[in-house]
A and B are shown apart, each in its own frame.
Chain A
Amino acid sequence: MKVIGQSRRRVDARAKVTGQARFADDLALPRMLFCKLLRSPHPHALVRQLDAGAARAAAGVALVLTGDDFTVAYGIMPVSQDEYPLARGKVRYVGDPVAAVVAASEREAAEAAALIRVSYEPLATVASPEEALRRPEPRIHDYGEGPNVHRLAHFAFGDVESALANADRVFEDVFFYEGNTHLPLEQHASVAALDPDGRLTLWSSTQTPHYVHRELARALDVPAHRIRVVATPNGGGFGGKSDPFNHEIVVAKAALVTGRPVKITLTREEVFYAHRGRHPVLMRLKTGVKRDGTIVAMDLETLLDGGAYGSYGAASTLYTGQLQTVTYHVPRYRFRACRAFTNKPPCGPKRGHGTPQPRFAQEVQLDKIAVGLGRDPADLRLQQIESPGALTANWLRIGTIGLKACIERVVEGSGWRERRGRLPSGHGLGLACSSYLCGAGLPIYWNEMPHSGVQLQFDRSGRVTAFCGATEIGQGSDDVLAAIVAEVLGLEAGDVRLVTGDTDVTPVDLGSYSSRVTLMMGNAAIQAAERARAMLAAAAATRLGVPAERLAFAERRVFDVENPAAAMTFQEAVVAAEVAHGTLGTTGSYRPPRSAARYRGGGVGPSSAYSYTAAVVEVEVDATTGWIRVPKVWVAHDIGRVLNPVLARGQVEGGVYMGLGETLMEEQAFRRLPPRLSSALVHRIPSILEYKSPTSLEMPEVVTYFVEEPDPGGPFGAKEVGQGPLLPVAPAVANAIFDAVGVRVDEVPITPDLVLKGLEEKAKGRKPRVGPAAFPAVPWPEALVVPPPWEGGDGKAVNEKAQSRDVLPTAHSGTAGVKV
C-alpha cells in the first residue's frame, strides 16, 4: 500500500502550523453581536423573579433572552431531555445559565448582564451520590428512577452468586475514581447567523454537528432543513464538545431574533461549568477465581455522580460495566449501576467514556489477585484473554484480539520479568491491560440509517473531493478520510480535497465520539472509492482495450498490471469515465452489524471491533514526601492496522499523557461554602492554574508498540486508537506504586498525601491500603436475567417484561439510545 501505513504529514498540518486553521472564535462577520450568559451563583435554587429592565436599556444592548424565550427541553439522549437553554424557574448547579445578553461588544454584554436582578430561593443541595440516595427531597429533577436517582440498571448474566460460592477464592474491593474534565485548550465558541436566504447557520466547536443540528431544530422549533451546522476544527474535544450546548441554542435564537450574526465564546471558568467530563464513580467489585487466578465470576456495582443533568448519562451508566467482559473470559457476570443527580455541572463522556473507572477497579484487583495467589500479574492475564471471535457473557461479539502480543511486547520492553519486585526501594513497575470499542453499535437516537456517509465528486481536472459529516477535533479524521480515498484510487492523500462536518453539504456522520470515525467513516469511504474505481476502470478498460479487472490504480495512474505500458493518467481516466457515465460521483455508507445482545440495555457495548492495550508503568515514589514520579511508560496497542504511524503514535502518547493527568493530579472537585454562604457547592478550582494538568516537564518517556492484526470489521483492518491507550494507565500506576512501596491506593487521583497515608498505615502494621471504605445501600431493581451464550441463552432476557417497567419509566423510551 502506498498511502496506508506510511508516515505522512497530515493533510491539515499546514493550516495548523501557519495559524490559518479557522476555529470558531476566529470567525468574525460584519455587524456581529456578542453574547454573554448570566449564570447562577447558587447550586440549587428556585428562580423567583428576574428583572432584566436595566440590562435591556443599557448601552449597546440589542437583546436579552431569558428562560421564557425557550419552552422546549432538549438533551443529547432522547431518554433524558432535561435541559433548557436558559433556566426555567430553577437552577441546578453553580453556573447554570439564567439569562443571555446580546450586545455590540462582549464588554457591553458583560456589563449589562451584571445589571440583571435575579431573585433566588435557595434549596438544599445534593453534593454526592450517597447524599442523593439518602436525601429524596428536594428533588433536582422531577423524573428519574427514584428521587434524585437518574438511572438504575441490574443485569445478571448467569448465576453469579452460586459461581462465587463455588470459587476457590473471592476478592472484594471498593474503589473510587474521581471526576475530571477534558480541559481542551480551545474554549467552546459558536457563531450564529442568517444567510442571505434567511436560513440559520451555526458555526460551532462541536464534535457532533449532526446531533446539534437535530437539537437546534427541536429547541428552536425551526425545520431542520432551514438550519445549517458547521463544525469548525475543534481545538481539542476529548468528549467535552459532544453535547448540544445551551450557548449554541442561545446564539442561534439570538441570530433569529436580531437578524444579525451573534458570537459567544466561553471563558475558561465557564468551560469548567460546561464540563460533561468524567463521572466520579464509586465501585464495589467482587471477583471469584480458581486457585490459579482464572476468573469464574465477576460482580460489579457502580455508583455514578451524574451532576445536574442527564447528558450522556444513560449511556455512561451502562458503560461503567458493559465492557468489563471483553478483555478476559468472564463466565458469569453481574452488573449493577446507579447514576445519581447532584448539584454540580453535568458529567458526560470523556475519553474512554465510563470505562476507565471500572477498568481501574478490575486491573488493580487483578494485581491483588496475582499477588494473593503468588502469580505473575502478566501471566495471570495471559492465561485468560478472551478468544478472538468470542461472544461474551453479556453477548458482545469480539473480533480480533491482539492483547497477548501487546502484553508480551510491554513485558519484554520493560524488562518486567527481570525487574519487577527487584527494583530498589521506592521504584516499581506496574502492568495493566484494557480494551475499548471502535464505535458504538447504535446511534444516540434510534434509526436504521447509516452511521456514516461519504460522497465523492470527480472533477475533469482529476481532483477528487470527499464530503463527509465527520468532525476534525485534532485526532486526524480528515487525514484518515483523505488517506483511504487516495489509497483506493491510487492517489496521494493531498490530492483529495475535503469538505467535512457541514450539515448543509456533507452526508451524515454521527460525530467524533466513541472512537467510531476511523472505522465507520473509513468503511464508508472505501465503499464510495471502490464504486468510483469501478466506474473509472470500466471506462479506462475500454480506452486501453484490456479487461477492467486487470487494471491497477497507483501513483496517479491507471494501468494494466500485465502490461504497465498500457496506461493512462488518473485525470485521463476521470475524463474517460465522465464521457462514459456522465457527471461522476459516488456515495458510500456504513452501518455496524446487528448486535447479538437483544436485551434492554444491550445497546450499549456492542461494536464492530474492539481495540486492546497493555501498559507497563515505572514509578519512583519518595517515601518522605509521597511524591510520585513516572519516568517511563511502555504501551502496546492492538490497532488492527496503522493508517498513519505519526498520527497513531500521537494518539497513544496523548492518551497516556491524559491518563497520567487523571491518575496523578486532575480532579473536578467541589467544596461546600459555610452555612452563612448558603452552603453552596462551588467548584474548587475553575481555572487552568489550579486544575493541575501535566506540563512538558512531567511527561515521561513513552515507548509505543503497535500490534497489527487486521480486523475484518475495520477499514484495511484498522481499529481505534484515540481512547483505548488511556485506559490501562491509572491501574498500571497504582500497581507500580504497590510494587515500589507496598501501598495500595484504591482511588484516583493518586496524590502524594494518599501515598503518605498508606505508608503511615504500613508503618503502624495496619493494612497498607488507602481508598473508600464502603459502598452504600442502593435500591437495586430486580435483575434482568440474561443467560450467557454457553448457558443456552439467545441474547434476550428471560424476564424482559418485569425489567422494562423498572428501567425506563420516563417518556420517549421508544427512542432510547439503549434500545436494541
Chain B
Amino acid sequence: MKSGSDERLARIALKVNGERRELLAAGYKTLLEVLREDLGLTGTKHGCELGECGACAVQVNGEPVLSCLLLALDCDGASITTVEGLARGPELSRLQAAFADLGAAQCGYCTPGILVTAQALLDRNPRPSRQEIAEALSGNLCRCTGYLQIFEAVEEAARAGAETTAPAAAGREVS
C-alpha cells in the first residue's frame, strides 16, 4: 500500500547514544519521527510537533534542539543523545536520580526533554544559578510541577558533583 506521493528513502547515518545507526527513511521525516518510529526510542516525546513545548528535545552534538523541527536527513553524521542515553547501564545519572528523588517528574511526559536540556546546561555550566536554570528550561513546558522541584533537582545534580556529565557524553567521544 504505497501512496502516490514521494516516498523515496534517504540513507541516514546517526550516532545515537554512542551507537552508530544507519537507516533508510523518507526525506520528510523529522528527527523526532525517526527516533520514535524507526529506531524505537520512544523515550523522546511530542507535545505539539510545532516547536512550541520542548517535549521532544534531544541533544545534537551536545546542543539541545527540538527534534520535531529538524529533518533527520539534516542530522546525517551527527551525534544524538536522547533520554535513553543518560543512564550508565542500570545506574541513573546524577541528574536522573535527583529528578526521581526530588519530585521533578510527575506525569513524566515533559521529563525526557527537560533532562536532556538540563544535562546540556550542566555540561557547559556545572554550577548554574537558579536564574540560569530557569532560562535554560524556558522552552520546556511542564504542566504538573510548577517547575520548582525541577530547578531543585538540577541544582542538586550540580551540587552532587562534576561527574553528572551523562555517560552518553562519554559515548560521544567514542569513534
By a CB distance below 8 angstroms, the chain B residues around A20 are 43
- Where chain A touches its partner, the secondary structure class is loop
Q: How far is the CA of A581 from the CA of B38 in the complex (A)?
A: 51
User: In whole Å, how far is A793's beta carbon from the nearest beta carbon of chain B?
Assistant: 43
Q: How far is the CA of A182 from the CA of B37 in the complex (A)?
A: 27
User: In whole Å, how far is B49's beta carbon from the nearest beta carbon of chain A?
Assistant: 7
Which of A8-16, A134-142, A420-428 is near enough to bind chain B?
A8-16
Contact B103 A650 (CB under 8 A): yes
Interface residues of A in 1-57 (CB under 8 A from B): 9-10, 12-23, 25-26, 28
Interface residues of A in 233-256 (CB under 8 A from B): 233-238
Interface residues of B in 55-75 (CB under 8 A from A): 55
Q: How far is the CA of A653 from the CA of B101 in the complex (A)?
A: 16
Interface residues of B in 132-175 (CB under 8 A from A): 133-135, 137-151
User: In whole Å, how far is A715's beta carbon from the nearest beta carbon of chain B?
Assistant: 20
Please tell me which one of the listed residues A14, A236, A649, A695 contacts residue B144 in the complex, with CB atoms under 8 A apart. A236
Cβ of A67 within 8 Å of any chain B Cβ, yes or no, is no
By a CB distance below 8 angstroms, the chain B residues around A484 are none
Cβ of B47 within 8 Å of any chain A Cβ, yes or no, is yes
In the complex, number of A-B residue pairs with CB atoms less than 8 Å apart: 188
By a CB distance below 8 angstroms, the chain B residues around A103 are 1
A/B interface sample: 23 pairs, CB < 8 A:
A12-B108, A13-B99, A14-B92, A16-B108, A17-B83, A19-B111, A23-B45, A60-B3, A185-B55, A186-B109, A187-B46, A187-B48, A235-B45, A268-B48, A474-B108, A646-B101, A646-B103, A649-B149, A650-B146, A687-B50, A696-B147, A697-B138, A699-B146
Q: How far is the CA of A719 from the CA of B109 in the complex (A)?
A: 26
Please tell me which one of the listed residues A236, A476, A688 contacts residue B50 in the complex, with CB atoms under 8 A apart. A688
Please tell me which one of the listed residues A9, A235, A697 contacts residue B108 in the complex, with CB atoms under 8 A apart. A235
Q: How far is the CA of A233 from the CA of B143 in the complex (A)?
A: 15
Q: Which residues does A use to contact B, with CB under 8 Å?
A: 9-10, 12-23, 25-26, 28, 58-60, 103-105, 107-108, 111, 182-187, 233-238, 267-268, 473-476, 646-647, 649-650, 653-658, 687-689, 693, 695-697, 699, 701-702
Contact A17 B1 (CB under 8 A): no
Cβ of B110 within 8 Å of any chain A Cβ, yes or no, is yes
Cβ of B10 within 8 Å of any chain A Cβ, yes or no, is no
Contact B87 A18 (CB under 8 A): yes
By a CB distance below 8 angstroms, the chain A residues around B102 are 646
Q: How many residues of B contact A (CB 8 A)?
A: 61
Interface residues of B in 1-44 (CB under 8 A from A): 1-5, 36-37, 40-44
Contact with A along B116-139 (1 / 0, CB 8 A): 000000000000000001110111
Contact A60 B2 (CB under 8 A): yes
Contact B106 A702 (CB under 8 A): no
By a CB distance below 8 angstroms, the chain A residues around B146 are 650, 653-658, 699, 702
Task: From known contacts A650-B149, A696-B134, infer whether A107 and B108 are also in contact, taking CB-CB under 8 Å.
Answer: no
Contact B143 A185 (CB under 8 A): yes
By a CB distance below 8 angstroms, the chain A residues around B112 are 19
By a CB distance below 8 angstroms, the chain A residues around B82 are 19
By a CB distance below 8 angstroms, the chain A residues around B115 are 17
User: In whole Å, how far is A638's beta carbon from the nearest beta carbon of chain B?
Assistant: 20
Contact B145 A233 (CB under 8 A): no
Cβ of B53 within 8 Å of any chain A Cβ, yes or no, is yes
By a CB distance below 8 angstroms, the chain B residues around A654 are 106, 143-146
Task: From known contacts A235-B45, A236-B143, infer whether A17 and B52 are also in contact, taking CB-CB under 8 Å.
Answer: no
What residue in chain A is nearest B85 (Cβ atoms)? A19
Most B CB contacts (10 A, CB to CB) among A12, A111, A187 go to A187
By a CB distance below 8 angstroms, the chain B residues around A26 are 36, 42
User: In whole Å, how far is A473's beta carbon from the nearest beta carbon of chain B?
Assistant: 6
What residue in chain A is nearest B40 (Cβ atoms)? A28
Contact B107 A653 (CB under 8 A): no
Contact A267 B49 (CB under 8 A): yes
Contact A19 B44 (CB under 8 A): yes
Please tell me which one of the listed residues A18, A687, A697 contacts residue B43 in the complex, with CB atoms under 8 A apart. A18
